[in-house]
């Protein structure tokens, strides 16, 4: 006999013994779960066949005959204890769906960027992953959230949250102020606790945005500034035709956040509808996993882009 044939025979015996162990496990499950439905004759026959198969396995003997005897019993007299193929399929799919829903509810969720309020950091058509666990455990379909004090949002982070005035509507903005901060905007410059946010002028930047009202893409130019808030460094855009952009000063209440979009003159944010309670925070934006829109169509260069 060749070495290849010997190896094939050894693999076949190993697979058969593995199948025998699985069959014994199923038979023991049947004996435990359906003990109240088995007649004394059926119960004794099941135990005898399991014992015979177990002896063959321990003594490393031939398992084909005891396996066939046990399978015959399970497939005939005890067929009511075995799961149908349809049931196994439903249970498998159900398990996958359950795990997916669990992950979506508590760990990570996909979110699509619908508007240009976060340009250039986020483009219309970006699909991102959102870390839902970092800021605490949110109970789905409620405003209940646990553990928000362990890791609250920090200045500079991009978060997804529920609109404080429009329940059910999710938004994405950057944290500019946290509870206790004094926020003011003077001549387009943001002040946090009396200190101007550090920034450097980058010049003019061309951008593409999607107009939801006309249902078409538009392009333009904006004044770009690199800003530094917390540990984040990012670019903000300003419309050169708009002047006198001011807000506040206003104190952020404890347990709430002040949010702004990076596309400052094209962002409905806390300057207009107020602060965001921590229990409305849904998660932190992590990464762009897919992107499609103007001008390239499929924006492959943005795949895997980490957000700051």
**Residue 90: which H helix or E strand, with range?**
helix 85-106
**pLDDT attached to residue 271:** 95
pLDDT at 173 over 50: yes
Q: CA 26, 28, 31: angle at the middle one, nearest 5? A: 115
- pLDDT recorded at residue 94: 60
Average pLDDT over residues 157-162: 94
Rounded CA gap, 162 and 143, in Å? 9
Judge contact between 47 and 27, C-beta under 8 A: no
Provide the pLDDT for residue 182.
97
pLDDT of residue 58: 87
Q: Is 117 a catalytic residue?
A: yes
Flag the least confident range among 18-27, 73-82, 83-92, 171-180. 83-92
Q: Is 173 a catalytic residue?
A: yes
Comparison of pLDDT for 307 and 106, the residue scoring more: 307
**Residues facing 25 on adjacent strands:** none
Question: Among residues 115, 132, 173, 291, which one is catalytic?
Answer: 173
Mind listing the pLDDT tens digit for each residue in 109-155?
888 998 999 999 999 999 999 988 888 776 666 666 676 667 899 99
- Res. 85 pLDDT band, cuts 50 70 90: very low
User: What pLDDT score does 39 carry?
Assistant: 87
pLDDT tens sequence across 4-54: 777 777 778 888 888 888 888 888 888 888 888 888 888 888 889 888 888
- Beta strand extents in 142-278 (DSSP E only): 145-146, 158-162, 170-177, 182-186, 189-192, 195-196, 198-211, 216-229, 232-238, 247-251, 256-260, 276-277
Q: Is 182 exposed, middle or buried (0-12, 13-18, 19+ CB in 10 A)?
A: middle
| E strand or H helix that includes residue 20 | helix 3-33
CB 262 within 8 A of CB 234: yes
User: Is the pLDDT assigned to residue 176 strictly greater than 90?
Assistant: yes
Express each pLDDT in 238-259 by its tens digit: 988 877 678 989 999 999 999 9
Residue 91 confidence (pLDDT): 54
In the numeric block, the tokens 């200045």 are attached to: 155
For residues 264 and 80, the model is more confident at: 264
Containing 292, the helix (H) or strand (E) segment is strand 281-293
Taking only Cα atoms into account, the Rg of the chain, rounded to an integer number of angstroms, comes to 31
Three-state SS at 98:
helix
- pLDDT given at position 101: 54
Q: What would the pLDDT profile of 179-227 be if each residue is shown by its tens digit?
A: 999 999 998 899 999 999 999 999 999 999 988 778 889 889 999 999 9
The active-site residue out of 2, 6, 79, 117 is: 117
**Statement: the pTM of the whole predicted model exceeds 0.85:** no
């Amino acid at each position: 006999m060749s070495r290849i044939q010997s190896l094939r025979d050894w693999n076949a015996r190993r697979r058969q013994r593995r199948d025998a162990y699985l069959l014994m496990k199923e038979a023991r499950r049947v004996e435990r779960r359906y003990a109240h439905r088995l007649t004394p004759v059926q119960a004794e026959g099941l135990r005898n066949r399991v014992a015979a198969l177990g002896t063959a396995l321990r003594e490393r003997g031939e398992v084909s005959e005891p396996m066939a005897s046990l399978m015959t019993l399970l497939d005939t007299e005890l067929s009511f204890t075995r799961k149908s193929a349809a049931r196994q399929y439903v249970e498998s799919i159900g398990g996958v769906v359950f795990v997916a829903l669990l992950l979506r509810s508590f760990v990570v969720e996909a979110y699509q960027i619908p508007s240009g309020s976060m340009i250039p950091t986020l483009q219309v058509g970006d699909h991102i992953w959102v870390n839902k666990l970092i800021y605490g455990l949110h109970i789905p379909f409620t405003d209940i959230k646990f553990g928000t004090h362990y890791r609250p949002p920090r200045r500079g982070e991009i978060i997804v949250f529920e609109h404080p005035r429009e329940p059910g509507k999710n938004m994405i903005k950057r944290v500019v102020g946290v509870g206790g901060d004094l926020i003011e905007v003077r001549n387009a410059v943001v002040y946090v606790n009396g200190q101007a946010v550090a920034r450097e002028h980058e010049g003019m930047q061309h951008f593409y945005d999607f107009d939801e009202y006309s249902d078409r893409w538009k392009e333009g130019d904006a004044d770009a500034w690199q800003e530094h808030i917390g540990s984040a460094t990012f670019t903000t855009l300003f419309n050169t035709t708009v002047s006198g952009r001011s807000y506040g000063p206003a104190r952020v209440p404890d347990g709430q956040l002040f949010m702004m979009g990076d596309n400052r003159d094209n962002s409905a944010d806390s300057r207009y509808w107020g602060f965001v309670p921590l229990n409305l925070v849904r998660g932190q934006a992590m990464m762009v996993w897919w992107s499609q829109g103007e001008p390239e169509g499929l924006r492959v260069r943005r795949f895997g882009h980490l957000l700051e």
